[in-house]
Amino acid sequence: MQVMRKDVLSAADLTPSDVDAIYSLADGLRNAPVSDALRGLAVALLFEKPSTRTRVSFEVGVSQLGGIPVYLDYTTTQLSRGETVEDTARTLERYVGAIVARVNRHGTLTSMAAAAGIPVINALSDIEHPCQALSDYYTIREKIGRLKGVVLAFIGDSTNVFNSLALLGAILGVEVRIASPREYGPSRWILDKAKELGGDVLVYDDPSEAVKGADVVYTDVLVSMGQESEREARLRAFLPRYRVTPELMSKTGKRSIFMHCLPAHRGEEVSDSVMDSEQSVVFEQAGNRLHVQKALLVRLAEEGYLQPRRP
């Protein structure tokens, strides 16, 4: 019986047993990074948005597993000339074992997954970033020694990263909090979905209250890709109150860790002194993307999903 779903479009597509299996594989892949788990298989990396960590970690990861990463920039494919997402997916499934897609609209992913018989993995959309959250909780597990009962306080805009952290946190027994201005708080859909998954996102206006007792303080950029026209309004709404500083970190009341999905806009959402502190694990987070994403691909291969459709 196949355990995992074919597609990973949302953090909610994962179960606790999926996560346990992926983390166990990631532990092994850290110690033995090179294998032939994907030997003979190509993986398409279809990117509509810029990327550093996601692209490099997937390209290197597929290569280390013996597979062939095929990077496709949207602007150099027929998608840029009007070919449908569905037709592209039906074509790619005849060449590759999986599609890793980084897109502007989440609907692009759902259309692609419905058309393709191979896995479609969300490498970022406007709604979620499940690979980031999966890797982040792996880092928290490594640093704190557990996940159940951990308190994660997110400071800032309710981004796609926050959405995936909230949903996966609900699945894993993590208490997720967010402090943001009311107009930039989490959507009702995320709050309801987290509750459906067994969690409860706690929403605060005051960052100092949100971080009390937190094991993890997390933030993200205040102006995400595609929001550049809103920059001035967003910075006025968030700063300086929603900046992570040493003073805010001290209000946790414990030796908390600081996390950021990167890239960081130093001096805006976080101060240099926090980014470069001993509490910061931001670059270990980035490093763990490689191990966890490799483990995700191996797990999907073990379930028999990574097979191109034969003519």
- At which residue do the structure tokens 């191996």 appear? 298
User: Among 13, 53, 126, 129, which one carries the catalytic annotation?
Assistant: 129
Judge whether residue 2 has pLDDT over 60.
Answer: no
Residue 114: what are its φ and ψ, rounded to 5°?
-70, -30
Q: What is the pTM of this model?
A: 0.96
Considering only CA atoms, which of 236, 209, 193 is closest in space to residue 155?
209
Q: Which fold would CATH assign to domain 11-128+289-302? A: Rossmann fold (3.40.50)
> Per the CATH hierarchy, to which homologous superfamily does domain 132-286 belong?
Aspartate/ornithine carbamoyltransferase (3.40.50.1370)
Active site residue 132: yes
pLDDT tens digits, one per residue of 10-48: 999 999 999 999 999 999 999 999 999 999 999 999 999
Judge whether residue 239 has pLDDT over 90.
Answer: yes
Domains of the chain: which residue ranges? 11-128+289-302, 132-286
Span of 82-86, 99-103, 208-212, 234-238 with lowest mean pLDDT: 234-238
User: Among 53, 126, 261, 293, which one carries the catalytic annotation?
Assistant: 261
Active site residue 129: yes
Active site residue 261: yes
> Do 132-286 and 11-128+289-302 have the same topology in CATH?
yes
pLDDT tens digits, one per residue of 68-110: 999 999 999 999 999 999 999 999 999 999 999 999 999 999 9
Q: What are the residue ranges of helices labelled H in 32-122?
A: 53-64, 85-92, 106-115
User: Among 177, 289, 291, 299, which one carries the catalytic annotation?
Assistant: 289
CA distance 42 to 257: 37
User: Among 102, 177, 234, 260, which one carries the catalytic annotation?
Assistant: 102
pLDDT of residue 25: 98
* Buried/exposed 4-27: b ≥16 CB within 10 Å, e otherwise: bbbbbbbbbbbeeebbebbbebbe
Could you tell me the pLDDT band of residue 311, with boundaries at 50, 70 and 90?
low
CA distance 57 to 54: 5
Angle at Cα 305 formed by Cα 61 and Cα 34, nearest 5°?
Answer: 25
Active site residue 220: yes
Could you tell me the pLDDT band of residue 1, with boundaries at 50, 70 and 90?
very low
User: Among 64, 131, 220, 285, which one carries the catalytic annotation?
Assistant: 220
Find out whether 14 and 8 touch, Cβ atoms under 8 Å.
Answer: yes
User: Among 53, 126, 132, 293, which one carries the catalytic annotation?
Assistant: 132
